[in-house]
Amino acid sequence: MTDTTERNAERARVRVSGLEKSFGDNKVLRGIDFEAREGTSTVLLGPSGSGKTTVLRSLNVLETPDRGVIGIDDVEVDFAALPPGKAGRRASGLLRAQSGMVFQAHNLFPHRTVLENVIEGPVVAQKRPREEAVADARTLLDQVRLGDRGDAYPFQLSGGQQQRVGIARALALKPRVVLFDEPTSALDPELVGEVLAVIKDLAADGWTTVIVTHEIRFAEQVADQVLFLDGGVIVEKGPSARVIGDPREERTRRFLKRVLDPG
């Protein structure tokens, strides 16, 4: 026990090294390395097609990388050495269970109420007692300010509310890290704020997060570290104030300029 604690203390929560992924001839990730310490927020920035989503989906093993090592806490998978068939799926499943994913298009289960959406993973996949899962889910729904909507169906909610249910559903799994892929880009502008506020709260509460976003102001406020991706590699990484406030790379500067004052 002491052993693990000590190791955890010196080891980052999320460890990615040498990550490569191709779709056919299209080499999308060309060696991604980064780490994220427990309780920090990492923001991925970069132009469209640079591979941000692919990195995030690799962490959750919705995409299987061709090469590279991903470690989250005690689970580490070397994808170059991933055994085929059942053993490989088992290893992938263990790694996937370490993270929770919030999708751009919430992907809530339309035939389940808000509460049922949130407890599905804990009860059915993690086999936790239902009463306990319901109690936890209610706390989480309070946290995302939807305490009174547990019995509603997703279609009865606004886009911002739906996205907040998506966040609660991811948190309910008690993941080691929460992954957000452009959580606000499908929302009407007036709904963006409420979702970002919730994510900010999470970061402040000590959740470890990895966030893909185009909201630079939000990134500046919430990120402990910023990774700037382009063409499948990390062009620049560092504290948000440094990467956003004083980027060293030409490509980063051009990107930020374009995003911050378009036109």
Ligand X SMILES: Nc1ncnc2c1ncn2[C@@H]1O[C@H](COP(=O)(O)OP(=O)(O)OP(=O)(O)O)[C@@H](O)[C@H]1O
Binding site for Mg ion (CB under 5 A): 53
Number of C-alpha atoms within 13 angstroms, CB side, residue 224?
15
CB of 136 to another protein, least distance (A): 14
Does the protein bind ligand X through residue 54 (CB under 6 A)? yes
Q: Considering only the stretches 4-12, 20-28, 31-39, 107-115, report the one whose residues sit in contact with ligand X under the rule CB under 6 A.
A: 20-28
- Using CA atoms in the order 28, 29, 30, 36, what is the torsion angle rounded to 10 degrees? 160
SS3 49: coil
CB of 88 to another protein, least distance (A): 14
CB of 3 to another protein, least distance (A): 27
Nearer to another protein, 115 or 244 (CB): 115
From Mg ion, another protein, ligand X, none, which one binds at residue 108 (CB under 5 to 8 Å depending on kind)? another protein
Contact residues for 104 (Cβ-Cβ < 8 A; gap 6+) = 181, 182, 183, 185, 186
Cβ-contact 240, 43 below 8 angstroms? yes
Does the protein bind ligand X through residue 53 (CB under 6 A)? yes
Nearer to another protein, 101 or 187 (CB): 101
Does the protein bind ligand X through residue 51 (CB under 6 A)? yes
Nearer to another protein, 23 or 155 (CB): 155
Q: In whole angstroms, what is the distance from residue 194 CA to residue 62 CA?
A: 27
Does the protein bind ligand X through residue 183 (CB under 6 A)? no
In order of 6, 25, 86, the CA distances from 21 in angstroms are: 33, 10, 21
